[in-house]
Amino acid sequence: MDIFRRRKFDEAMFARNRTLAIRVGQYQSSDIKEASFDYGYIKGDAYKPGGTCAGSAKIIFSSIITTFNKLDKIYPEIGLLVDGTYEWVKMGEYFINDIEIDRNRKTTKLDLMDGMFKLNREHITSLTYPAEIRQVIKEICLKTGVELANENMDLTSMNYQIEKIPLRKK
Protein backbone atom coordinates (compact mmCIF):
# COMPACT_ATOMS: atom_id res chain seq x y z
CA MET A 1 0.00 0.00 0.00
CA ASP A 2 1.51 3.32 -1.00
CA ILE A 3 1.73 6.23 1.45
CA PHE A 4 -1.30 8.03 -0.04
CA ARG A 5 -3.45 4.90 0.20
CA ARG A 6 -2.13 4.26 3.73
CA ARG A 7 -3.21 7.76 4.79
CA LYS A 8 -6.68 7.15 3.33
CA PHE A 9 -6.81 3.77 5.13
CA ASP A 10 -5.97 5.44 8.47
CA GLU A 11 -8.64 8.11 7.91
CA ALA A 12 -11.24 5.45 7.12
CA MET A 13 -10.23 3.38 10.15
CA PHE A 14 -10.58 6.28 12.57
CA ALA A 15 -13.76 7.68 11.00
CA ARG A 16 -16.97 7.57 13.04
CA ASN A 17 -18.71 5.66 10.29
CA ARG A 18 -16.58 2.93 8.83
CA THR A 19 -17.49 -0.18 6.92
CA LEU A 20 -15.75 -3.44 7.73
CA ALA A 21 -16.01 -6.80 6.01
CA ILE A 22 -14.62 -10.28 6.54
CA ARG A 23 -13.67 -13.08 4.20
CA VAL A 24 -12.37 -16.58 4.68
CA GLY A 25 -11.27 -18.14 1.40
CA GLN A 26 -14.28 -18.08 -0.91
CA TYR A 27 -16.67 -17.02 1.86
CA GLN A 28 -17.54 -13.32 2.22
CA SER A 29 -19.31 -11.24 4.90
CA SER A 30 -22.72 -12.26 3.57
CA ASP A 31 -21.79 -15.91 4.31
CA ILE A 32 -20.48 -15.22 7.82
CA LYS A 33 -22.80 -14.68 10.76
CA GLU A 34 -20.18 -14.00 13.45
CA ALA A 35 -16.40 -13.83 13.87
CA SER A 36 -14.24 -13.20 16.92
CA PHE A 37 -10.48 -13.24 17.45
CA ASP A 38 -8.62 -13.59 20.74
CA TYR A 39 -5.13 -12.15 20.75
CA GLY A 40 -2.72 -11.68 23.61
CA TYR A 41 0.93 -11.23 24.30
CA ILE A 42 3.11 -12.46 21.41
CA LYS A 43 0.54 -14.61 19.66
CA GLY A 44 0.92 -15.61 16.06
CA ASP A 45 2.77 -18.03 13.86
CA ALA A 46 6.33 -17.53 15.13
CA TYR A 47 7.87 -18.43 18.50
CA LYS A 48 9.46 -15.76 20.67
CA PRO A 49 10.99 -17.22 23.83
CA GLY A 50 9.65 -15.68 27.00
CA GLY A 51 5.92 -15.28 26.53
CA THR A 52 4.28 -17.06 23.64
CA CYS A 53 0.72 -18.33 23.96
CA ALA A 54 -1.76 -19.54 21.38
CA GLY A 55 -4.24 -17.22 19.69
CA SER A 56 -7.74 -18.40 18.90
CA ALA A 57 -10.73 -17.42 16.82
CA LYS A 58 -14.31 -18.44 16.19
CA ILE A 59 -16.17 -18.08 12.92
CA ILE A 60 -19.83 -18.95 12.45
CA PHE A 61 -21.03 -19.34 8.88
CA SER A 62 -24.71 -18.78 8.03
CA SER A 63 -25.00 -22.07 6.17
CA ILE A 64 -24.04 -25.71 6.50
CA ILE A 65 -20.56 -26.28 5.09
CA THR A 66 -19.18 -29.82 5.02
CA THR A 67 -15.92 -29.20 3.19
CA PHE A 68 -13.90 -28.13 6.25
CA ASN A 69 -11.69 -30.67 8.01
CA LYS A 70 -10.01 -30.61 11.39
CA LEU A 71 -6.49 -29.09 11.18
CA ASP A 72 -7.18 -27.48 7.78
CA LYS A 73 -5.38 -24.15 7.48
CA ILE A 74 -7.51 -21.08 6.88
CA TYR A 75 -6.57 -17.43 6.43
CA PRO A 76 -9.27 -14.99 7.63
CA GLU A 77 -9.04 -11.41 6.38
CA ILE A 78 -10.67 -8.22 7.62
CA GLY A 79 -11.57 -5.58 5.04
CA LEU A 80 -11.99 -1.84 5.45
CA LEU A 81 -13.91 0.16 2.87
CA VAL A 82 -11.62 2.94 1.58
CA ASP A 83 -12.89 5.18 -1.24
CA GLY A 84 -15.28 2.55 -2.57
CA THR A 85 -12.96 -0.49 -2.47
CA TYR A 86 -11.93 -2.80 0.34
CA GLU A 87 -8.40 -2.95 1.70
CA TRP A 88 -7.85 -6.44 3.11
CA VAL A 89 -5.70 -7.23 6.15
CA LYS A 90 -4.72 -10.83 6.85
CA MET A 91 -5.51 -11.97 10.40
CA GLY A 92 -2.94 -14.76 10.24
CA GLU A 93 -2.81 -18.47 9.61
CA TYR A 94 -5.21 -20.57 11.67
CA PHE A 95 -5.84 -24.28 12.04
CA ILE A 96 -9.32 -25.69 12.49
CA ASN A 97 -9.53 -27.15 15.98
CA ASP A 98 -13.22 -28.06 16.01
CA ILE A 99 -16.16 -28.03 13.63
CA GLU A 100 -19.75 -27.78 14.84
CA ILE A 101 -22.57 -28.10 12.33
CA ASP A 102 -26.02 -27.11 13.61
CA ARG A 103 -28.53 -28.42 11.10
CA ASN A 104 -31.49 -26.81 12.93
CA ARG A 105 -29.99 -23.32 12.78
CA LYS A 106 -28.26 -24.04 9.48
CA THR A 107 -24.86 -22.83 10.72
CA THR A 108 -21.30 -24.08 10.74
CA LYS A 109 -19.04 -23.00 13.59
CA LEU A 110 -15.26 -23.25 13.35
CA ASP A 111 -13.07 -23.01 16.44
CA LEU A 112 -9.61 -21.97 15.29
CA MET A 113 -6.15 -21.86 16.82
CA ASP A 114 -2.92 -20.39 15.56
CA GLY A 115 0.30 -22.34 15.10
CA MET A 116 1.38 -22.07 18.73
CA PHE A 117 -0.81 -25.10 19.54
CA LYS A 118 2.06 -27.21 18.19
CA LEU A 119 3.96 -26.40 21.39
CA ASN A 120 1.27 -28.05 23.55
CA ARG A 121 2.97 -31.42 23.73
CA GLU A 122 5.83 -33.05 25.54
CA HIS A 123 9.28 -32.20 24.26
CA ILE A 124 11.80 -35.01 24.23
CA THR A 125 15.25 -33.68 23.56
CA SER A 126 17.93 -35.24 21.38
CA LEU A 127 20.57 -32.82 22.64
CA THR A 128 23.56 -33.76 24.74
CA TYR A 129 23.70 -31.85 28.03
CA PRO A 130 25.00 -29.47 29.16
CA ALA A 131 23.45 -27.50 26.29
CA GLU A 132 23.13 -23.80 25.55
CA ILE A 133 19.63 -22.36 25.83
CA ARG A 134 19.75 -21.19 22.20
CA GLN A 135 20.31 -24.83 21.10
CA VAL A 136 17.29 -25.91 23.14
CA ILE A 137 15.09 -23.20 21.61
CA LYS A 138 16.17 -24.08 18.08
CA GLU A 139 15.56 -27.79 18.73
CA ILE A 140 12.05 -27.13 20.06
CA CYS A 141 11.17 -25.09 16.96
CA LEU A 142 12.65 -27.69 14.61
CA LYS A 143 10.83 -30.62 16.26
CA THR A 144 7.45 -28.88 16.45
CA GLY A 145 7.53 -27.21 13.06
CA VAL A 146 7.07 -23.78 14.64
CA GLU A 147 9.06 -20.99 13.02
CA LEU A 148 11.45 -19.05 15.22
CA ALA A 149 10.35 -15.40 15.08
CA ASN A 150 13.80 -14.01 14.41
CA GLU A 151 16.82 -16.24 14.00
CA ASN A 152 19.03 -13.46 15.35
CA MET A 153 16.76 -12.40 18.20
CA ASP A 154 19.67 -12.11 20.57
CA LEU A 155 20.03 -15.89 20.72
CA THR A 156 23.72 -15.31 20.16
CA SER A 157 23.85 -13.36 23.41
CA MET A 158 22.11 -16.15 25.32
CA ASN A 159 25.10 -17.84 26.90
CA TYR A 160 23.07 -19.57 29.59
CA GLN A 161 23.68 -23.31 29.80
CA ILE A 162 21.31 -25.96 31.00
CA GLU A 163 23.43 -28.45 32.88
CA LYS A 164 21.20 -31.54 32.69
CA ILE A 165 18.07 -32.73 30.98
CA PRO A 166 14.99 -31.44 32.85
CA LEU A 167 13.02 -34.23 34.53
CA ARG A 168 9.76 -35.25 32.90
CA LYS A 169 6.55 -35.10 34.92
CA LYS A 170 4.87 -38.46 35.26
Q: Mind listing the pLDDT tens digit for each residue in 25-80?
A: 999 999 999 999 887 655 455 555 555 566 789 999 999 999 999 999 999 999 99
DSSP string for residues in 68-89: --TT-EE-EEEEEEETTEEEEE
**3-class secondary structure, 117:** helix
Neighbouring residues of 72: CB distance < 8 A, sequence distance ≥ 6: 95, 96
**3-class secondary structure, 94:** strand
H-helix or E-strand spanning residue 90 = strand 85-90
Q: Mind listing the pLDDT tens digit for each residue in 113-129?
A: 987 777 777 778 888 88
Farthest-apart Cα atoms in the chain, separation: 61
* Cis bond before residue 130 (omega within 30° of 0): yes
pLDDT of residue 152: 58
Strand pairing report for 147-148 and 46-47: parallel
151: pLDDT strictly greater than 80: no
- Averaged confidence pLDDT in the chain: 84
Beta carbons of 87 and 5 less than 8 angstroms apart: yes
Distances (CA, A) of 6 to 82, 92, 154: 10, 20, 32
Q: How far apart are CA 116 and CA 72, in angstroms?
A: 15
pTM for the model:
0.71
